[in-house]
Amino acid sequence: MIDLKITLANVFGFNSFRPGQEDIINHLMQKKSLLAVMPTGAGKSLCYQLPALLFENQTIVVSPLVALMNDQVDVLKDLGIKAERVHSGMSESDRSKAWEGFQNSWIKILYISPESLMRDSMLNALRTLKISMFVIDEAHCISKWGSDFRKEYEQLKDLQYHFPNAIISAFTATADEETRADINNKLTNNKAKIFLYGFNRPNLSLAVQQKYNWREQLIDFLEDRYNQSGIVYCLSRKQTEDCAEFLSKKGFKAIAFHAGLDTKVKNNAQDRFMTEDNLIICATIAFGMGIDKANVRFIAHVSLPASMEAFYQEIGRAGRDGEDSDTMLIFGNDDVYKRKGFIDNSNAPDSFKIKEHKRLDALVTYCNSATCRRQTLLSYFMESCEPCEKCDNCINPPERIQGTEYALMVLKTIYYTGQYFGSNHIINVLRGVFNEKVRSRGHDKIKTFGFGKNNSTIFWKTFIQQMVSSNCLRINIQKYGAIQITEDGKKIIEGDDEYFYRKILLDTPKKEKKSKIGRISSSTLLEEKSLLSALKSIRLKLAKKRGVPAYIIFPDTTLHQMITNKPQTLVEMSEINGIGPQKLEKYGEIFLSIIKDFN
Ligand code: ADP
Ligand code: MG
Ligand code: ZN
């Protein structure tokens, strides 16, 4: 039996496997197919790259995006592994050079798009070679139940019949039970063993705010993040542009990204995000898959994602290097209304719509949860954990306030106006705003007109959102968002029930900000910060010279370890996790000399 750990250290430069990796690799080494579901950042690539190296014959990796392939191949080449890719974004000559290398068995691992792989000419050419394994990365793309179905992936179901002697290994970060069964059925006729690993990402902090002014709330969240990279997810194309413009005005380096942009502009945005530090992308869901940047420090949502799965996948793009990273979801009830509309107006079959509504409802429950967010999140994925002490609800347990009187004001106003209006109008009546709509409907005459004038519009907006969340009120989608009273709401009107609300924080308190480098005492902080920036700047120089993203040279975690360990010799340098012989030879001296300068 080959010692896997030796390859792990000598080729990849890691001193231990991450959870799950060893089991998966052992299974593959026995030439057996599998489907592995592991969270983003868990290290799925290594699970197939390491066996691919050890197999006598060659491996094909199917990947959905050009950016993803380029990135992975760059990483492998930098480790001295013979890997190549063929896709439509390459020049004809590069492509045939890569293909020739594979045909001559000089290249061990070939990355390819599903549509190129399943072409007849390609399948015929591959039959003359010896293929040990087909890897299907982002395998959820094959399932209509998954969150990102791709037609090109569907053809992959024939692969098992074309190459009965090769094993198939499929990897994904998001697949519920149905999706897993679907993937396994399509790719291997249920022959794959399924490996499931935890969804908990302890290095991500979780927080939710009810929306009153997303720009203000976003700036608050971004306050000391001028030197971090992150993604702000928006609902619409227009919002991405507004958001990028707004952040730029506030001094951030921010750009917009959505599916409507020119391909060149999109590629440029992705490239910049991968290579530059401190860049914020304001994006629709079009941005994400294939973004393998390790040091994304935050994910903010300024509107509600489509579902719990989508949310989990989106926040999963932060903190892939294992360092602390923050997430913040800012949501309003109008988002829920819009999302529900998207689902209802799609031409998906009803069974699918019902499922999507449930996935969305689960996310709304997460937003309104008054207990540990991580517990709410994980329970959706059938997992549990102790209160995490790292989410907003754990850090600041929400205070419950007696609000029956306020609730009655809202309920009566809705009742007197016929359960016919959205929250803006209800709030205007409550606060005694004498506008055209109020005047023309005679709503200044109803009993509760002006009863709520001592509280701000934002207060009432949030209060009503909470009443919707706690199921005392309902937003009627068929009636264009009219707010109506539910059975629970009636009980309050009839005096059978009281109503408690979560304390509404109108001026969000400033969180005490943690040192982003972590574990560093304040006396040495300054020095270490400047060492970090020196290391980062040499890294950037090397990356630019080689035309690869900075983290391919070394991820942030490795730089932080250099700061902690302060290696003085190449041997000490080689003890740092992530520095294998290849990297040591290429970059060891350069980084060592920087560290020595700081002694
Ligand atoms: P994903 O599961 O999302 O595909 P990747 O394969 O891209 O994750 O790996 C995420 C990061 O984890 C990469 O930077 C990779 O180098 C790192 N990594 C993978 N395995 C290990 C390990 N055993 N020890 C340390 N870092 C690892
Ligand atoms: Mg991956
Ligand atoms: Zn918690």
Residue length of the chain: 599
User: Residue 526 pLDDT more than 80?
Assistant: no
Residues 6+ apart with CB under 8 A from 560: 323, 517, 518, 532
Mean pLDDT in residue range 361-379: 85
Nearest to 210 by CA among 458, 486, 482, 489: 458
Torsional sign, CA 127, 131, 133, 135: negative
Q: Please tell me the distance from the alpha carbon of residue 11 to that of residue 581, in angstroms, as a whole number.
A: 7
Residue 214: its pLDDT value, please?
Answer: 95
Q: Where are the alpha helices (DSSP H) in 36-189?
A: 44-54, 66-78, 92-103, 114-117, 120-127, 151-154, 159-162, 177-188
CB of 579 shorter than 6 A to ligand 1: no
Instruction: Output the CA angle 210-212-218, nearest 5 degrees.
Output: 80
Q: Select from 206, 302, 209 the least CA-distant residue to 254.
A: 302
Instruction: Tell me the sheet residues that pair with 168.
Output: 134
pLDDT, the chain, mean: 89
Closest by CA position to 49, among listed 83, 74, 23: 83
Percent of the chain with pLDDT over 90: 57
Whether 560 lines ligand 1, by a CB cut-off of 6 Å, is no
Measured between alpha carbons, how far is residue 440 from residues 436, 444, 448 in Å? 6, 9, 17
The predicted model scores a pTM of 0.62
Q: Which atom of ligand 1 is nearest to the CA of 18?
A: 23
Give tens-digit pLDDT for 116-138: 999 999 999 999 999 999 999 99
Lowest mean pLDDT among 103-107, 171-175, 238-242, 351-355: 351-355
**What pLDDT does residue 2 have?**
66
Query: How far, in Å, is the centroid of ligand 1 from the Cα of 17?
Result: 10
Token couple for 362:
């689960």
282-294 per-residue burial string, b: 16 or more CB within 10 A, e: under 16 = bbbbebbbbbbbb
pLDDT attached to residue 290: 63
**Ligand nearest 75 Cα, by number?**
1
**Average pLDDT score over residue span 275-279:** 90
The predicted model gives 73-91 an average pLDDT of 93
Which atom number of ligand 1 is nearest to the Cα of residue 577?
25
The amino acid that residue 144 corresponds to is K
Ligand 3 centroid vs 341 CA: distance in angstroms? 31
Establish whether residue 41 lines the binding site of ligand 1, counting it when its CB lies within 6 angstroms of any ligand atom: yes
CA distance 81 to 58: 13
Measured from the alpha carbon of residue 290, the closest ligand is 2
Query: What's the rounded Cα separation, in Å, for the pair 352 and 360?
Result: 12
C-beta 317 within 6 A of ligand 1: no
- The confidence score (pLDDT) of residue 279 equals 96
List 233's β-bridge partners, or say none.
Answer: 283, 301
Residue 556 pLDDT: 84
